[in-house]
A and B are shown apart, each in its own frame.
Chain A
Amino acid sequence: AQTVTQSQPEMSVQEAETVTLSCTYDTSESDYYLFWYKQPPSRQMILVIRQEAYKQQNATENRFSVNFQKAAKSFSLKISDSQLGDAAMYFCAYRSHHGANSKLTFGKGITLSVRP
Chain B
Amino acid sequence: DTGVSQNPRHKITKRGQNVTFRCDPISEHNRLYWYRQTLGQGPEFLTYFQNEAQLEKSRLLSDRFSAERPKGSFSTLEIQRTEQGDSAMYLCASSPSGIGVETQYFGPGTRLLVL
Contacts and interface: CB of A to CB of B under 8 A. Distances in A.
B102 A45 contact: no
Given A91-B42, A106-B42, A108-B40, A101 B56 contact: yes
Nearest to B41: A108
B25 interface: no
Contact of B108 (A43, A102, A107, A108): A43
A43 B109 CA distance: 9
A96 to B, nearest CB: 11
A34 B48 CA distance: 19
A23 to B, nearest CB: 11
Interface residues of A, number: 26
Contact of B106 (A6, A46, A95, A101): A46
A47 interface: yes
A99 B109 CA distance: 25
A44 B108 contact: yes
A64 interface: no
B27 to A, nearest CB: 18
Interface in A1-46: 4, 6, 33, 35, 37, 43-46
Contact of A104 (B41, B45, B55, B107): B45
A102 B48 contact: yes
B45 to A, nearest CB: 4
B90 interface: no
A100 B48 CA distance: 10
Interface of A: 4, 6, 33, 35, 37, 43-47, 50, 52, 91, 93, 95, 99-109
